[in-house]
Chains A and B, each alone.
Chain A
């Protein structure tokens, strides 16, 4: 794999992260991060949809008339999402219930549209595939990090297993109930952005 292709995967993980730098796909990212399990399932679903949507659009890029490209993109994404939704309902019903409308909302997830517009329309299928994988990995990374923090402090568990020992609670430790509420997702992401920009100075906004 050439360095150029490798960059397509590594850049979105750090200096070009879809959530903290490009600010795309925030909606679903915040809502599914109360627990680790739905966050991981969501990341895998997005990885699948994004990688294949990128490849399909890249294959069709010379035949789609540019006036109707948005509709074509939406239809392709929507078909892939229906596929994911049906598979989740069949094999992971509990998680699919927890994710509720957010599986459907992958359709309007701006990362996917954004990458199709910005990358897949102008590149060959293989780099597009790598770009899709890289960006959804960057997205998944933030999702899993936020979900880990929220589950650990909010419920004292990781992936449903209790990790904070019983003894702590006897000494007066209590789970932070605030972490489970929606607003804390925003604040945790805000802090992640803060840490990242403090480490990489050139990302600071004027």
Chain B
């Protein structure tokens, strides 16, 4: 239990997707003009990361890893190593999961669907989602519980980051920013400063 909590806090604050690894920056910059839309996209990302990371964990451990197919094919499969197929499998899972989530949300929560709008399908090409799967692979989590907690934590971290920058951008609109810095430039610098603030979590030893 303690281990799970550590992973959760770590993935949310210390290894924050945006501030430590710059993942999902494209949509982070494009959709952070107002807090409302930012919240919508943030929730969708938590949702999709929370689902795809554990699913990709299962695929990685029961299909792709060296000897992972043993449960299906018996002794003969001991030397089969499909890990080079990782990228294609992960992106296919993500694309189909996003499609599935979209259909489920449309059927059972039409109001949420209407408010998320175009953001749901766009998540398929958000690098934070594929990044989550690849980090899961690289850090070698030992159980599906750890993988799901990592996915949820990273999603929440991303949510915090995008809502934070959206609030700052709403305020900044009324400030006197030098003309060439307006818009994109100042957003980069503000994100950098937020990142420096988040670095203070690095001292936490878990």
- Contact flags (1/0) for B104-115 with A, using CB distance below 8 Å? 000000000000
In the assembled complex, the Cα of A198 lies from the Cα of B181 at a distance in Å of 8
In the complex, A191 Cα to B125 Cα: how many Å? 27
| Complex Cα spacing A97 to B196, Å | 25
Q: How many angstroms between the C-alpha atoms of A79 and B187 in the bound complex?
A: 34
Q: How far is the CA of A205 from the CA of B135 in the complex (A)?
A: 36
User: For residue A187, which residue of chain B has the nearest CB?
Assistant: B192
Is A110 on the interface with B (CB-CB < 8 A)? yes
> Which residues of the other chain, B, contact A104 by a CB distance below 8 angstroms?
86-87, 130, 134
Interface SS of chain B? helix
| Bound Cα distance A194, B124 (Å) | 31
Interface of chain A: mostly helix, strand, loop or mixed: helix
- Chain B contact-residue range equals 35 or more
Considering the complex, which residues of chain A in the window 1-45 have a beta carbon less than 8 Å from any beta carbon of chain B? 20, 23-31
Minimum-distance CB pairs A-B, first 3 = A183-B195, A190-B188, A205-B183
A sample of 21 inter-chain contacts (CB < 8 A) reads A26-B25, A28-B127, A29-B22, A70-B125, A82-B84, A82-B87, A100-B138, A101-B131, A101-B135, A105-B23, A105-B134, A108-B125, A109-B127, A110-B125, A183-B194, A183-B199, A186-B192, A191-B189, A193-B180, A197-B181, A203-B180
Identify the A interface with B (CB < 8 A): 20, 23-31, 70-71, 74-75, 78-79, 81-82, 85-86, 100-101, 104-105, 107-110, 113, 181-187, 189-191, 193-198, 203-206
